Structure 1
Amino acid sequence: MREPQIDYAAVFRALPGMVALLTPDLVYADANHDFLRLAGRTREELLGRYIFDVFPENPNDRAAAGMRETRESMLRVVGSGERDTMALLRYDIEDPARPGRWVEHFWSPVNAPVLGRDGQVVLIVHRVEEVTELVRARGGPGSDSRASALEAELYARARELQDVNEGLRRAQARDREVALALQEAMLPAPTPIGHHQAAVRYRPAVGTLNVCGDWYDLVDLPSDRIAVAVGDVVGHGLAAACVMGQLRSALSAAARVAAGPAQALEALGLYARHVDGAESTSVVKAFIDWDTHTITYSSAGHPPPALLSPDGTVTFLDQATDPPLGARPEHVPRPEARTAFAEGATLVLYTDGLIERRTEDIDTGLARLGDALARHGRADPEALADALLADLLPSTGNTDDTALVIIRL
């Protein structure tokens, strides 16, 4: 039996209900007939244009949040590669025949990813149900009183939900601001480490709720040595940021008295047992000794540091990996490994936001990091940090925090 030849473009145009396709930059790539009809726009007015240039926010409504919520939903799809269903949304549209007149609309949107062969999002499917008539009280002569009463009740409930969502959004925004301020205070620029060059970066996740617990720390040790660490607390928001602060301070203190990174992580693990929310935290610790040209390191469930040699070779330091903090019921000594480095080499420590994508195996992300280091490795640490973030993070923002430390050895 021959397979039918299906014109998928024709199918898309005929789909019942409003459906549009947008690029990861939120530019319209296509829209079906119902979308054009119900949105009151022509194809020429949509295609190739940024979504919020076509449908700006109602400037007369100070409480309007539709544009922000829609943008954040779409960016979550781009960053996570997963579908995002939005709550009932009010988004007024300007009447194309009467500029300056805004018409109230209620929508129920769903945004879904279309993935390319490399697992990256190449398109966003934006499906919208127009539900304005279901939530608007019509009243008037000849209308069915029970239907009108039901619609009025639905409209009132929709208004209440909108108010609740707005209050929740503001509370979440306040939490995000506090968490970011806490992280900024606890993640300052590194103090000078002798004549050695270092760069640090922290990039928060996109979205109101997605401030996480990523952190870094650099400690100057006696002789020509430093201790460097990068960690990631499980969870989001203010609570994760608070746990991050406690663990970072504890590990920073432990590094000053520990014989090596494994012993420092053992002390941190014992401390973490008494900190709510610290379980399953991942962290990697490295001691760098310029007198012996060695790096001694230990990892508690964290992605391996990358060592870029002057000849462009990239080696991942993965010979001393153990479970995250609190993963074992009893205390067990942690492993430790040592490797030599050549003068002019570069050490890169990072959190999983730099390399991990939900649709990929972690080896793919590590390979991408290795390629980027090979391309940009000759740059100084500050320029290299910017290049890595530009190459490896989505242009629209990531759904996970990213901490990055680069040290020229």
Structure 2
Amino acid sequence: MRKPQIDYAAVFHALPGMVALLTPGLVYVDANEDFTRLAGRTREQLLGRYIFDVFPENPNDPAATGMRETRASMLRVVATGERDTMALLRYDIEDPGRPGHWVEHFWSPVNAPVVGPDGRVVLIVHRVEEITELIRARGGTGSDSSRARVLEAELYTRARELQEVNERLRGAHAREREVALALQEAMLPAPMPVGHHRAAVRYRPAVSALNVCGDWYDLVDLPGDRIAVAVGDVVGHGLGAACVMGQLRSALSAAARVTVGPAQALEALGLYACHVDGAESTTVVKAFIDWDTHTLTYSSAGHPPPALLHPDGTVIFLDQATDPPLGARPEHVPRPQASMAFAGGATLVMYTDGLIERRDEDIDVGLARLADSLIRHGKAHPEALADALLADLLPATGDTDDTALVIIRL
């Protein structure tokens, strides 16, 4: 597919609302069609001219401050390289068809920098909302109505400033999301073969900037034809959750190598979690798979139950060794574990709650949806099965929570 060719000059001139470009010396270099129309000036009257030669202050109003405030805002943008949102401004304009006749205008300006390769401001984007008609439509005559009009205009400006703050917060959250996801990706193990067995892993972040990170998976090779698999979910989100996730994943991975079973590995992780801020209430499920004995041993700390698809197409959920999340008990208590035999060709599915849980339904509905999808797609290769489960189970509007998924063909 060819990349569309965009005429940015045409886009600029078609922008809704008044937009002009000025040099750091406050000289017009361009203005869009709405600007020339609403300001009552042609491009020839604007381009190459100093802004306040085109729009001087009203000499008949000694209290006018529009020119001084606009110049201060623009120079602030040049000096700081940051956007500046001005308060509501009354700035009268001389009628070009009636020299000496000044027309009252109310403007709501925003000035933003365009930065060059050297980091210096090379242009000022001057965007203006013309709200004169809005204020006149709500106003009347006399001093009281005039004050009411100004007050209403000030409220309008405050609303715009709040909108600007919200936009900046969204930008900050987006940047945090990018950093958190990069950290999450760096700490999650890359997909790896598990001996001669087929497996697939997936991590899908939430669409919300504030709901990313905290879910993880881990696969550890053990002596003999054995592996340890884990999936976990830290309660928090963002950078903090990603850091906690990394610590817990590493600790559990180490514990799996020196303990005799998943329950003992979770006990060791629980003791470690007591000394990690933000680790309380983390859920995790751990499974040891032994192909020599065709035995699956598992233990869960408050986590949704893994699903096991038998070769005959039946699905069971491994919920016979479930205990509270990490840090939920004030003192150490041994955790339970359960074992069961599996037949060759069975499929183990471990996941976090983002795959099955929805706020408006019982968890059993999500588990049934998972079982149904497994039955329909279970014969596929684990990689194709992982994609099918995500397509079937995640909301079409985007994930509202993280999802980690591990699939192993037994």
Alignment TM-score, normalising by the size of structure 1: 0.66
User: Which position in structure 1 is the counterpart of 2:348?
Assistant: 347
Query: In structure 2, how many angstroms separate the alpha carbons of the residues matched to 1:59 and 1:226?
Result: 62
**Kept after mapping to 2: 8 A contact 1:134/1:154:** no
Q: Deviations over 1:319-350 (max 9, x none)?
A: 10000000000000000100100001100000
Identity of aligned residues (%): 81
1:349 aligned counterpart, secondary structure? strand
What residue is the counterpart of 1:390 in the other structure? 391
SS at structure 2 position matched to 1:223: coil
Query: Which letter does structure 2 place at the counterpart of 1:228?
Result: V
Going from structure 1 to structure 2, the CA distance change for 1:395 and 1:290 (only over 3 Å counts) comes to same
Deviation of residue 169 (structure 1)?
A: 1.0
Q: Residue in 2 aligned with 1:47?
A: none
In 2, are the aligned partners of 1:134 and 1:155 still within 8 Å (CA)?
Answer: no
The alpha carbon displacement at 1:187 in A equals 1.7
Q: Which residue identity lines up with residue 352 of structure 1 in the other structure?
A: D
- Tell me which of the two structures has the higher relative contact order, counting C-alpha pairs closer than 8 angstroms and 6 or more residues apart: 1
**Is residue 251–residue 264 contact of structure 1 (8 Å, CA) maintained in 2?**
yes
- Aligned position for 1:241: 242
Q: Which runs of 4+ in 1 moved over 3 A?
A: 57-62, 132-143
CA shift, 1:153, in A, is: 1.5
| Counterpart-to-counterpart distance in 1, 2:235 and 2:169 | 23
CA distance in 2 between counterparts of 1:289 and 1:60 reads 70
Cα deviation digits, residues 329-388 of structure 1 (max 9, x gap): 000000010010000110000001101111111111111111110000000100000000
Any conservation in 1 of the 2:140–2:146 contact (CA below 8 Å)? no
* Aligned position for 1:359: 360
Further displaced range: 135-144 or 224-233? 135-144
CA contact (8 A) 2:262 2:287 kept: yes
How has the CA–CA distance of structure 1 residues 156 and 285 changed in structure 2, closer, same or farther, with 3 Å as cutoff?
Answer: same
State the distance in 2 between where 1:160 and 1:59 align: 17
> How many Å apart are 1:177 and its aligned residue?
0.3
| SS in structure 1 of the partner of residue 215 of structure 2 | strand
Shift of 1:138: 4.5
Residue 227 of structure 1 aligns with an amino acid whose one-letter code is A
- What root-mean-square deviation, in Å, do the aligned CA atoms of Structure 1 and Structure 2 show? 2.6
**1:151 Cα deviation (Å)?**
1.4
Q: Hey, what does 2:337 align to over in structure 1?
A: 336
**Aligned partners of 2:309 and 2:315: how far apart in 1?**
5
The code of the aligned residue for 2:363 comes to I
Q: Could you tell me which amino acid in structure 1 is paired with residue 252 of structure 2?
A: L
Q: CA deviation at 1:58?
A: 5.9
Distance in 1 (CA, whole Å) between partners of 2:202 and 2:294 is 25
Describe the SS at the equivalent of 2:218: strand
1:173 touches 1:208 (CA, 8 Å); kept in 2? Answer: yes
Paired residue type of 1:242: C
Write the deviation string for residues 86-105 of structure 1: whole angstroms up to 9, x where unpaired.
xxxxxxxxxxxxxxxxxx99
Aligned to 2:163: 162
Residue pair 1:135, 1:158 contacting (<8 A) in 2 also: no
| Aligned twin of 1:192 | 193
Once the two structures are TM-superposed, the CA of residue 284 in structure 1 deviates from its matched residue by 0.1
Alignment partners' CA distance in 1, 2:366 and 2:331: 33
- Which residues in structure 2 correspond to 1:205-220 (within 5 Å)? 205-220=206-221
Paired positions, count: 287
Correspondence list, 1:213-292, <5 A: 213-292=214-293
* Separation (CA, whole Å) in 1 of partners of 2:318 and 2:251: 24
Alpha-carbon distance in 2 for matches of 1:330, 1:61: 65
Contact 1:135 1:152 in 2 (8 A): no
Q: Residues 246 and 136 of structure 1: is their aligned pair in 2 closer, same or farther, counting only changes over 3 Å?
A: farther
Partner of 1:302: 303
Residues 103-182 of structure 1 aligned to structure 2 (within 5 Å): 137-138=135-136, 142=141, 144-182=145-183
Structure 2 Cα separation of the partners of residues 389 and 61 of structure 1: 44
- The question of 1:370 aligning with 2:381 is answered no
Deviation, 1:191, is 2.2
In the other structure, the counterpart of 2:104 is none
- Unpaired segments of 5 or more residues in structure 2? 1-14, 21-106, 109-129
Q: Secondary structure at the match of 1:220?
A: strand
- Which TM-score applies when normalising by structure 2? 0.66
Distance 2:148 2:368 in 1: 60
Residue segments in structure 1 that go unaligned for 5+ positions in a row: 1-56, 63-103, 106-131
